Chain A
Amino acid sequence: MTKAKMKKVVIPKFSSEAEEAAWWDTHRPEIEADIRRRIKKKPVSLGNLLRGGKPSRPVTLRVSQDDLESARRLAARRGLGYQTYIKMLLRNALSEDSVEGVVNNFCSYVEVQNGFQYWSNAGSLSPQTQAAIKTSDIVLVPAEGFVGYVGPLFPKGTDDLFHFLRTNAPSYTKVELAAEDEDYKELALHAETVYIATVLVRLLVAPVALGLIVEYLKNRFGSRLGKTEVRASMILDQTNASNTKTLRLSYEGPAIAFEDTMREALSTIISTSQPPAHNVSGKKVSPLGTREDDHR
């Protein structure tokens, strides 16, 4: 038995509203048939949309009676089952709470706790180093241990990077290392991947830091960059801004895509972290659209 080939209805780009209206007029039967076919194939419902493909698991959760009554009431007002409504609220809250995202194939970010506040008070560091970190703009921070070895570890060549940053950073940009000299240890993973130490940086200095890292890579690896993979992380500390989330932006991919990908990611993060601007009418406007709009 052969399956009939389903023609996908593609909505073209229109140059005018009149053209758009005409297209919808002529294609209406086609669109209706397409919708009927799709509903038959898989029922469209809020449930299906929320599920997003992965099967769900039943969990037992003790919930207060008051909350359950509120949920039933508010769900009824929206025309939803109370359990569907609760799951919808859960999903919204989770996405707002965990700042996590994927920029593209090579770049992702996640919220972390250990920014400048943490490192300028870290017990493993001397008071002098702690004080130096407090006033620094760029700090190379270690990873915590590896396969049975407990202690701060930096990727191979971090001292080289440290010297490079100190020598080439602008005079007003202070660079520090979050380890005492005698505790400084490097981990060498001898594959061809280039591991860059995690760079803790104040958000607005991040583009400068990125530029320096790119220069370092070109300087040290030259033409071999074309065949190499890079793993790098930047911890973007925004504690001076109204939005106090500290993000770790990680890159894992080909060296040749590193600069452009990270610049794009940084500019997105920087622009979304700006405090809301005010437009002409005095109403608050945020760069990406606001939750207030959604709740009208």
Chain B
Amino acid sequence: MTIDDVRKYLASVRFRPAEPDSQNIREFLGIAKAEAVERGDQEGATTIWCLETALRIQDLYLRAFSQMKEHKFYQAWCDLERAEIALASLQRHDTTSWTEFCLGFIQTHIEHWQSIFPYKLFFSPEFIALKKTCSICGKIVTPRKPCGHIKGHIYDGEECILEVTPQILGISFVDKPLQKYSVVFAGDPETGTPCDQYNYGIVEYAVNALRNPFDAWNVEHTKRIQPHSRFSHVGRNDPCPCGSTKKYKKCCGPKEGVLCPHMEFHFDVPPPPEIPTEGLLAV
């Protein structure tokens, strides 16, 4: 195996099977990187780090897609976030193979997937960083005495991150979290175990309509008028189904229909014939 073989493997991600096994590639890259570090080749080690990260991003995206097919939605959500973080890291260093390795495609489509998940509320910790330690040299970093390593840079083929010792002050609910994995789940009142109360109908629709994780698709978040007949189960004094807090009779009642949030999907490759393409109502 050579570095060129790895590049070819990365460039052919569209044809990779659903559950790829990149173990031998990862091992090869690990050895090559160690050798580069041995002979003091920082640039070479950084290049290999970029390939390792690109591979990781691709594998995470493929795994997320498989998980969605198997209805393991929360695990897919977490893998999509891991890929998103790795993309941000890689983007700081090397974007030359962005298109070749389909990383731009993955970046755009992670956003699409995240926008159709039903998660609206997240936990967000508020904590004090008591001390910060550099992952490269292990020294404690203070404002006037930095350790010399720059956060985000690659040293000996490893990314410098600052490890924080936290003192948690509290947890708050937010709708735009930095840590997307802290989704709010309900707890079973009897056993206290978390249960997944979310309706993944829309995500299921999209993943069923796609045969290949690299078939491009887009979603437009818009609004559409739905006839009142579809809301016969909603009382006149109940909150309007359009999502405003007004009463149905005061809000959309007098209008020709209910203005509902609507997602318009566009698939580059037509979905399988059994997938409906018109007028679905997600309740």
- Chain B associates with chain A: yes
A163 touches B146 (CB 8 A): yes
Q: Do A192 and B178 touch (CB < 8 A)?
A: yes
Choose among A159, A177, A182 the residue that contacts B141 (Cβ–Cβ < 8 A): A159
Q: Which of B127, B142, B169 contacts A184 (CB 8 A)?
A: B142
Q: Does A190 lie within 8 Å of B124, measured CB to CB?
A: yes
| Interface residues in chain A, defined as those with a beta carbon under 8 Å from any beta carbon in chain B | 146-149, 153, 156, 158-160, 162-163, 177, 179, 181-182, 184-193, 222, 224, 229
Given known contacts A147-B169, A147-B170, A149-B169, A188 and B129 CB-to-CB distance under 8 angstroms: yes
| Pairwise interchain contact B177-A190, C-beta atoms closer than 8 A | yes
Shortest CB–CB separation between residue B104 and chain A, in angstroms? 12
A-B residue pairs in contact (CB < 8 Å), sample of 13: A149-B169, A153-B128, A156-B129, A159-B146, A181-B143, A187-B128, A187-B129, A188-B128, A189-B126, A190-B124, A191-B176, A191-B177, A222-B91
> Of the candidates B126, B143, B151, which one forms a contact with A146 in the assembled complex, judged by CB atoms under 8 Å apart?
B126
Report if B12 contacts A (CB, 8 A). no
Do the beta carbons of B142 and A190 come within 8 Å of each other?
no
Given contacts A160-B151, A188-B166, 14 further A-B contacts (CB under 8 A): A146-B126, A147-B126, A159-B142, A163-B143, A177-B144, A181-B142, A181-B144, A185-B128, A185-B129, A187-B127, A187-B128, A188-B126, A191-B174, A192-B176
Q: Take A147-B170, A148-B169, A156-B129 as given contacts and tell me if A189 and B143 are in contact as well, using a CB distance cutoff of 8 Å.
A: no
Q: Please tell me if the beta carbons of A191 and B178 are within 8 angstroms of each other in the complex.
A: yes
Is B178 a contact partner of A190 (Cβ separation < 8 A)? yes
Measured CA separation A274–B215 after assembly (Å): 62
From B125, B130, B151, B167, A190 is in contact (CB under 8 Å) with: B125
**By the criterion of a CB under 8 Å from any partner CB, how many residues of chain B are at the interface?**
28
User: Hey, which bits of chain B sit against chain A, CB under 8 A?
Assistant: 88, 91, 124-130, 132, 141-146, 151, 164, 166-167, 169-170, 172, 174, 176-179
Min Cβ gap B226→A in Å is 29
* B143 CB, min distance to chain A CBs, angstroms: 4
- Separation of A36 and B241 alpha carbons in the complex (Å): 45
Chain A residues near B129 (CB-CB < 8 A) = 156, 185-188
Query: 7 closest Cβ contacts across the A-B interface?
Result: A181-B142, A186-B129, A192-B176, A159-B143, A190-B124, A191-B174, A190-B178
Chain B contacts for A147, CB-based, 8 A: 126, 169-170
Residues of B within 8 A of A179 (CB): 143
CA of A153 to CA of B169, assembled, Å: 13
User: Smallest CB-CB separation from B176: which chain A residue?
Assistant: A192
- The answer to whether B169 and A146 touch across the interface, beta carbons within 8 angstroms, is yes
Write out the residue numbers on chain A whose beta carbons fall within 8 Å of the beta carbon of B124.
189-191
